[in-house]
């Protein structure tokens, strides 16, 4: 499988200028190719192929208006055309129902929060013996290597985010050498807002609420940004402060997701989750809390880590009544309001924790080998049988010596 590893890059002032030039050239090539296709569509002409766009790019680079495109590597310009092809393919696949619908490709702006360029193997980029990243027509970039790459990377993408940070993203191929030894536990996971994740074995992971905790600082930086004059240098500085504050929140959330997903995958042989309607929940009054939790990113991590380490990952349908069925006897007790966190089954009398019971039902719906004992149910007060009810005459009490077999005096 292919994996992506990202590392922080610290370019010099000259290298930042070269990267900005490369970002601009890739953006112009993308926009020019998009205009060519849109003009052909408006004129009723056939769809312009990638080969024709590549020939058009070669011809345009020889004109005085676009001669400066030759100042950057030709590979990143060709990769920009590939990105346009991918955008069109995703758009058409959405219309055909092969993937979720998305909009048609749009023009890129130099004010976009994220700028990127991609180098493939034929661009002659490499990692120097000193640990720097050598890119054509840019130079040797200083990289902060936080871990070792498992294999030789095939491509590298240089990204500049909204906070002004630079990253080098490598794509590597991995084999089955990282498969973990088999283990016994199999768990279902119920994702929520009170607790971020509740496992069928009773484990509960609290929700850190990174955005909620940083709201005071975010409001302060956003207020300072709104008071600056548009187009001024102070406004750009304030914008960077806001972006960095949001980046700290996103980084903390991503780190929490990585730690929790790795621990769950390492400790369990099979993992089951519920397919949540995140887009629907994001349109309710719980939208901020739903986005702060980041369920989709966490489930994606579980899925690819399960495939990487040889674990089983199952996703059940979102319409399974996991919160309405007793995990002990299987009786459906009907829907319950969100404020009901504990309920008693009317059939078997078990007192069930709502979240743990849902996690057990998720595991059962996925076909995992779990039992209701993992739900930490406790039997409720069961009425005594009719034969045991009422009063009974007291039995005559025997003396102690007769109970012991000692003859009376």
Q: How far apart are CA 189 and CA 368, in angstroms?
A: 12
Q: How far apart are CA 72 and CA 350, in angstroms?
A: 69
35, 36, 39, 44 alpha-carbon torsion, rounded to 10°: -150
Alpha-carbon separation of residue 272 from 251, 262, 341, 352 (angstroms): 26, 15, 22, 20
> Is 402 noted as a catalytic residue in this protein?
no
Cβ contact 271:199 at 8 Å: no
Q: How far apart are CA 50 and CA 139, in angstroms?
A: 30
Q: Which of 32, 201, 274, 353 is catalytic?
A: 274
Q: How far apart are CA 292 and CA 315, in angstroms?
A: 22
Which letter, b or e, does each residue of 334-369 get, where b requires 16 or more Cβ atoms within 10 Å of its Cβ?
Answer: eeeeeeeeebebeebbbebbbbbbbbbbbbbbbebe
Residue with tokens 């130099």: 110
> Is 274 noted as a catalytic residue in this protein?
yes
**Which residues, at least 6 apart from 369, have a Cβ–Cβ distance to it below 8 Å?**
186
Q: Rg for the chain (alpha carbons), in Å?
A: 31
Strands (E), 120-215: 126-127, 133-135, 139-144, 155-160, 166-173, 186-191, 195-199, 204-206
Cβ contact 32:84 at 8 Å: no
342, 346, 348, 352 alpha-carbon torsion, rounded to 10°: -10
Cβ contact 149:172 at 8 Å: yes
> Is 333 noted as a catalytic residue in this protein?
no
Q: Which of 32, 303, 353, 355 is catalytic?
A: 355
Q: Which of 32, 186, 190, 303 is catalytic?
A: 190
Q: How far apart are CA 24 and CA 169, in angstroms?
A: 19
Residue with tokens 């992506």: 4
Residues with a known catalytic role? 190, 274, 355
């Amino acid at each position: 499988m292919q994996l992506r590893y990202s590392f922080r890059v610290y370019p010099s002032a000259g290298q930042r200028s070269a990267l900005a030039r490369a970002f601009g050239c890739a953006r112009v090539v993308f926009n020019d190719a998009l205009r060519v296709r849109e003009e052909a569509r408006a004129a009723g002409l056939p769809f312009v192929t990638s080969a024709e766009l590549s020939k058009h790019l070669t011809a345009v680079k020889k004109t005085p208006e676009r001669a400066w495109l030759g100042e950057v590597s030709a590979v990143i310009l060709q990769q920009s055309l590939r990105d346009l092809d991918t955008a069109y393919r995703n758009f058409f696949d959405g219309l055909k129902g092969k993937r979720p619908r998305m909009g048609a490709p749009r023009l890129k702006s130099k004010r976009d929060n994220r700028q990127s360029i991609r180098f493939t193997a034929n661009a002659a980029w490499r990692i120097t013996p000193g640990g720097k990243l050598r890119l054509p027509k840019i130079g040797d970039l200083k990289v902060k290597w936080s871990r070792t790459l498992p294999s030789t990377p095939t491509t590298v993408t240089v990204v500049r985010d909204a906070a002004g940070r630079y990253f080098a993203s490598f794509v590597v191929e991995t084999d089955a050498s990282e498969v973990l030894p088999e283990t016994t536990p199999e768990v279902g996971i119920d994702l929520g807002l009170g607790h971020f994740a509740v496992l069928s074995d009773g484990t509960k992971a609290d929700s850190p609420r990174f955005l909620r905790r940083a709201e005071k600082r975010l409001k302060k930086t956003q207020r300072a940004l709104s008071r600056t004059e548009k187009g001024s240098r102070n406004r750009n500085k304030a914008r960077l402060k806001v972006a960095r504050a949001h980046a700290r929140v996103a980084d903390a959330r991503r780190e929490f997701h990585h730690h929790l997903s790795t621990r769950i995958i390492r400790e369990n042989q099979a993992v089951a989750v519920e397919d949540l309607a995140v887009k629907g929940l994001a349109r309710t009054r719980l939208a901020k809390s739903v986005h702060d939790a980041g369920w989709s990113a966490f489930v994606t991590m579980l899925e690819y880590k399960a495939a990487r380490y040889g674990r089983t990952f199952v996703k059940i349908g979102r319409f399974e009544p996991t919160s309405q069925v007793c995990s002990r006897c299987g009786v459906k007790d009907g829907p319950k309001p969100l404020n009901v966190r504990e309920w008693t089954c009317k059939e078997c009398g078990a007192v069930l924790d709502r979240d743990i019971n849902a996690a057990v039902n998720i595991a059962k719906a996925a076909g995992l080998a779990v039992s209701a004992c993992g739900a930490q149910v406790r039997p409720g007060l069961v009425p005594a049988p009719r034969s045991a009810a009422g009063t009974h005459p007291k039995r005559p009490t025997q003396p102690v010596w007769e109970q012991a077999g000692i003859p009376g005096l």
